[in-house]
Amino acid sequence: MDSASAHTVIVGAGLAGVQTGVALREQKWLGAITVIGAEPHVPYDRPPLSKAVLTGRAENAEFDVDFDALGIELRLGVTVTGLRVRDRAVLTDAGELRYDRLVLATGAEPLTLPGSTDVPGVGLLRTLDDARRLRPVLESGEPVVVVGAGWIGAEFTTAAREAGCPVTVVEAADRPLAGTMPAEVAAPMAAWYAEAGAELRTGVAVRAVHEDPAAKVELADGTVLPASAVVVGIGARPATDWLRGCGVDLASDGSVRVDQQLRTSVPGVYAVGDCASFPSARYGERLLIHHWDNALQGPRAVAAGIAGGDGGQAVPLGGTVYDPVPYFWSEQFGRFVQYVGHHRDGDELLWRGEPGGHSWSVCWLREGRLNALLAVGRPRDLAQGRKLVERGAGLDRELAADPAVPLKKAAVAPPGA
């Protein structure tokens, strides 16, 4: 098919969707491009929501993209309802949209507390509207309850404490970041809450949220916490329910299963960003990554496949293999936290610096190779560690454990090299 007459539809107007459209134009794709977004707002970036937008330093976080100049059509405020693969048609509440190539970039949707969605004062921090709704809460200085001590919970708690709000954080697990960090790494991070003047309650679940007349949070141990607002940050899942039964293969976690070129099981259909899981040869497992960098990098592989003339086939054709080293960052409690790589239970831990201090790093080693690194206030460790992870380098443990030694100086040939 002549690319000039082909139509690419991108479902999702977040970073992954927008960057796919931009990358297609950068790779000289001449066909029509339509981006469908559920929100009415011009596409925007999410990291500033928990920072500049939430605190009133900015009104929005629009992408610096001239869609008209790129010939990208935006259809905003449109909800997708299904996909009819046979006819290459996306079904929406505004009618059908035909495609020649389709990119699924619907991201993830936040988990909610059962029975709390209709209680006034209970909200999320996921969208631009969420951030704007929460801004007056910070300005009021009234008590806030945060449910979930993950990355978003920590960032909101940071902003709320800086605004002078009393904050209680409730976490059902026995520590913050229980889903992403081992206990020995999370322990020093738990101390940051008290240092900032926030109360952290771990090992207790929320039983219910009541309106009386303001929100009240009832915990499983019988404690009742008054709050002017309740912010829920208990995780997210791929926004893929609309795809069930259409023929696109979904994994058990709800993500779209893609190959190393981000192609789905359906010819001509790709998936990218928070909604897609891909096989990583680097780590020997399928990865589902809900982070900004993945949504930025993946679209280049998708665009390479489409612009390179994939023929719409779900067979290997020598396209761009997508196997990145994951990366993310968080700003919380006056600290810049960065993570690179992918660790799992059983990896060897190696510390650089005292975890009770203001700056330290921890390395994960697998079979002697640097597999992942968390850096707190040590950006040089992160920059050097990222290159070492990409190379699959080994580490001299004695040198690496000395925070005064640049990490790159501790690099050695990996075992068996």
Query: What ranges do the domains of the chain cover?
Result: 3-109+237-307, 122-234, 334-412
122-234 matches 3-109+237-307 in CATH topology: yes
pLDDT tens digit string along 152-173?
999 999 999 999 999 999 999 9
Beta carbons of 308 and 319 less than 8 angstroms apart: yes
381-389 own/partner pairs: CB under 8 Å, 24+ apart: 381/352, 381/407, 382/338, 382/340, 384/408, 385/340, 385/341, 385/361, 386/325, 386/327, 386/340, 386/341, 389/325, 389/340, 389/341
Report the pLDDT value the prediction gives residue 25, as an integer from 0 to 100: 97
CB 20 within 8 A of CB 299: yes
Give the span between the Cα atoms of 374 and 376, in whole angstroms.
7
* The pLDDT of residue 215: 66
Which two structure tokens, joined as six digits, stand for 18? 């927008």
Domain at 122-234, CATH class = alpha beta
User: For residue 26, what is the DSSP state?
Assistant: H
Euclidean distance between CA atoms 284 and 113, whole angstroms? 34
Superfamily, domain 3-109+237-307: FAD/NAD(P)-binding domain (3.50.50.60)
Per DSSP, helices labelled H in 214-341 are 292-307
Give the pLDDT confidence of 98-137 residue by residue, as tens digits.
999 999 999 999 999 887 777 778 889 999 999 999 999 9
* CATH classification number, 334-412, choose in 3.40.50.140, 3.90.79.10, 3.30.390.30, 3.40.140.10: 3.30.390.30
* 235 within 8 A of 180, measured Cβ to Cβ: no
Residue 72 scores a pLDDT above 90: yes
Question: Which residue in 105, 122, 104 sits closest to 113, CA to CA?
Answer: 122
- Helix (H) or strand (E) holding 19, with range, is helix 15-26
**Sign of the dihedral through C-alpha 387, 393, 399, 403:** positive
Q: What is the pLDDT of residues 315-334, one digit of tens each?
A: 444 568 999 999 999 999 99
Phi-psi region of 181 (alpha: psi -120 to 50; beta: other; left: phi over 0): beta
